[in-house]
């Protein structure tokens, strides 16, 4: 369901190093998101690449954009100015911390650095970087699209975002996601890594 192009490890690493906010490649586990230029409405059409330092670990599918419900006016329950669109081609160092998203699922929560978001309030079918970005703590988390972690549910791959993102970075590959969270849970509980860096790219 996603036509975002595939990249080599080297292509992604070279690209993130060119961004204005680049400081260094993190030593621990970190994530690159790639936002599809196609931007299919209400569809999981983006990708997420996990690294340890310079070493690629895994790729997952998901969305870096809000779902259709939010874009069409659901954002008013959160912010009257529009849906939160996380600014792309940007580094967010030490932005996330492992914990429970809404107290119900393992995820990465915005407990570290601030993020930059645009507010898209024109209620069309596109996620757009409208106006000037604003910086702050808006609960832009990293999670999956279910609270049901039964074996049967984990094998389900759904492509419609629905209400699962109001600006969060959301994975629809549930089985891979749970494996990923097992890693971040271990790192957090042992104190080996308490913060996770994220870099969001536009497809290039």
Q: pLDDT digits over 62-95, tens only? A: 999 999 999 999 999 999 999 999 999 999 999 9
Compute the distance between CA of residue 58 and CA of residue 160 in angstroms, rounded to an integer.
Answer: 22
Is the pTM higher than 0.85? The answer reads yes
**Angle in degrees, CA 91, 96, 100, rounded to 5:** 155
pLDDT, averaged across the chain: 96
Q: Tens digit of pLDDT for each residue in 107-137?
A: 999 999 999 999 999 999 999 999 999 999 9
Structure confidence at residue 40 (pLDDT): 94
Structure confidence at residue 156 (pLDDT): 87
- Is residue 96 pLDDT above 90, yes or no? yes
Structure confidence at residue 121 (pLDDT): 96
Torsion region of 103: left, alpha or beta (phi above 0 gives left; psi -120 to 50 gives alpha)? left
* Average pLDDT over every residue of 156-161: 94
């Amino acid at each position: 369901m996603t036509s975002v192009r595939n990249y080599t490890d080297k292509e992604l690493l070279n690209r993130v190093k060119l961004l204005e906010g680049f400081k260094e490649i993190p030593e621990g586990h970190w994530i690159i998101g790639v936002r599809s230029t196609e931007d299919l409405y209400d569809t999981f059409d983006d990708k997420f690449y996990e690294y340890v330092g310079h070493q690629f670990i895994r790729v997952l599918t998901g969305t870096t954009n809000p779902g259709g419900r939010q874009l069409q006016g659901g954002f008013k329950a959160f912010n009257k100015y529009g849906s939160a669109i996380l600014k792309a081609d940007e580094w967010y160092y030490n932005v996330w911390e492992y914990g429970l998203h809404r107290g119900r699922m393992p995820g990465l929560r915005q407990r570290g650095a601030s993020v930059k978001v645009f507010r898209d309030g024109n209620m069309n079918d596109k996620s757009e970087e409208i106006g000037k970005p604003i910086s702050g703590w808006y609960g832009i988390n990293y999670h999956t699209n279910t609270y049901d972690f039964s074996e049967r549910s984990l094998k389900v791959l759904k492509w419609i975002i629905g209400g699962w993102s109001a600006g969060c970075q959301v994975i629809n590959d549930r089985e891979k996601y749970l494996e990923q969270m097992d890693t971040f849970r271990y790192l957090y509980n042992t104190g080996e890594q308490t913060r996770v860096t994220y870099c969001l790219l536009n497809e290039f």
